[in-house]
Chains A and B, each alone.
Chain A
């Protein structure tokens, strides 16, 4: 751990809204420079509260937070704004601002008292537009953008603030899958290529486990686990934190599934992508895979009709046809 330089440290931190009942306590945290850290945890475990405490919007109950060696509590609002920028969940984006004007607001701590932009300010804004790939709609009004585009603009505004540390609260909420991946990718790139230290809360476990350099995980007992994502999967911390009655955790894919409750054994023989999707179809429809079942399905990708059902010997063009056949067999 000491190999990494920490830009933000918290020691013996207790946070929450009432001194008698801290939400999280005895926290010792290090945010590594140039890394993407994901803060995970079920609803109500205190993710956002921790984020708000670490950036000084909420006073910690006890303990110390240091950012780049400075005590956070002793920094002025302006000094803080040059160290740390924020992206919140709630949809901001006043419609009457252009994308450029919105991003230019990020220069607030640097610009003159009238908010006039210097050449240096403009260069930073142009850079923020470029890395977030938002240059194309610089003159659009923010309400004309798609959710994903708007989220990028909001991130560009944080970049324009030119801070070593960026905090994001659920930046991928309400976004569709490709856009979510795009945003994660952007954040990862900002950490790697621009050296930003990024802390984000998220509910998207799969993406976080694939992209995060570090994971901070808050479990239901309000304990915080730290580590690289794979370690937290292997030591069972992820499973425990999100454990839910009636859900099974699959360590191979790090995803939660509803267990099969019916007993309709089928043997599936084959490999590759066709095999994988056939398996999905069967599991989704309440069949369970068994070694030596009476019903067998042979999957051969190269065949015109890739699916063969034994013992009947009938062949199928699509999974849907196979499924209909299986269902009628099991119902009669």
Chain B
């Protein structure tokens, strides 16, 4: 530092992101959100949609559909898309692996186990439907079970993570724990009645429509908190881009960072899985799409952008799932993979830079 000089005029440092691209994303998000609210199996004129928003609609049926069904659904889509994408981004950076996602650590599998425990193990007298009939706050029990399941797997993973320093080994352990959990669910299904299995399978299809206005408040609070926490990890995530040894040499506490990231991820993914079922693909694909679109690995830019892209993609998938103009609603889990996979393949072929990001 003896020769520190003032900045030479020739040194102009470019910001590593594209402002136009971010603006485009914000506009796309607004447009898709409005479309998702406006379109559905019941044909509602655009004027009525706007009137419902402003509370000046005379048609009670329309405004009820808009405010009680479509609006919560669209907001759920935004929350689910953002949460799963941000969780995926953190997993990919932490494990420096392009295949990582919120499901790899067994978080989704754990949630599934919790739900299976409620739906399958309680005997035919108390199926999930029966539980709902009992009136225990709608499907709160399912949500509670899925969150507990996710937490249980998370605790096992965290306990192991105290023993292991290497993140790649940690990733393998996570995948193995997920497999064990899935195997337990399989065996459970094998010994269950067909009606119970049907309930469970319906849940695994994933749905954005099952969240009531009241539940949405809780979900929004949890997801908002999780995403806020993610912003606090952006500096650590950037340091992890260089690998654990470098990150540690720069003063990062690897163990606590890892615990923090895993905890945030499981809250985000666990909550969404509980409320909406296991939604695949988004968590892996969106971080890749975002990095590709902005050509940066800087998490200060990537985290907000991933929130945007995740919400956009989820809204788009929901629009397709509702099959506008028809009475059908397809399982959202199938749509996310059906729409997203070709997009990712196209990006890989076009950019060839996915792997360089790690």
* Chain A residues in the interface with B (C-beta under 8 A): 55, 57, 76-82, 84-86, 88, 90, 92, 94-98, 100-102, 105-106, 108-109, 111, 113-115, 122-124, 126-127, 129-131, 135, 138-139, 141, 143, 161-162, 193-195
Contact = CB atoms under 8 A, between A and B. Distances in A.
Contacts of B217: none
B243 A124 contact: no
B264 to A, nearest CB: 15
Given A108-B251, A114-B300, A135 B2 contact: no
A88 B310 CA distance: 35
A81 B251 contact: yes
A194 B251 contact: no
Nearest to A96: B297
Contact of B295 (A96, A126, A127): A96
Contact of B251 (A55, A78, A98, A102): A78
A105 B4 contact: no
B250 A105 contact: yes
A106 B5 contact: no
Contacts of A82: 251
Contacts of B357: 94-96
A77 B256 CA distance: 12
Interface in B129-154: none
B353 interface: yes
Contact of A126 (B5, B241, B291): B5
Interface in B105-163: none
B281 to A, nearest CB: 22
Contacts of B6: 123, 126
B242 A55 contact: no
B342 to A, nearest CB: 23
Contacts of A126: 4-8, 11
Contact of B249 (A86, A100, A135, A193): A86
Nearest to A107: B250
Which bucket holds chain B's interface residue count? Answer: 35 or more
Interface string B233-253: 011001101110110111111
14 contacts: A55-B249, A76-B251, A80-B249, A86-B246, A88-B245, A95-B356, A95-B357, A97-B296, A105-B241, A108-B239, A114-B235, A126-B7, A130-B3, A139-B12
Contacts of B326: none
A322 to B, nearest CB: 51
A193 B300 contact: no
B16 interface: yes
Q: Tell which of B234, B250, B353 has the most Cβ of chain A within 10 Å.
A: B250
B13 interface: yes
B228 to A, nearest CB: 13
B14 interface: yes
A85 B238 CA distance: 17
Contacts of A114: 231, 234-235, 300
A48 to B, nearest CB: 11
B235 to A, nearest CB: 4
A97 to B, nearest CB: 5
Nearest to B302: A96
B356 A143 contact: yes
Please provide the 5 A-B residue pairs with the shortest distance between their CB atoms, ordered closest to farther: A95-B356, A81-B251, A96-B297, A115-B235, A108-B250
B251 A86 contact: no
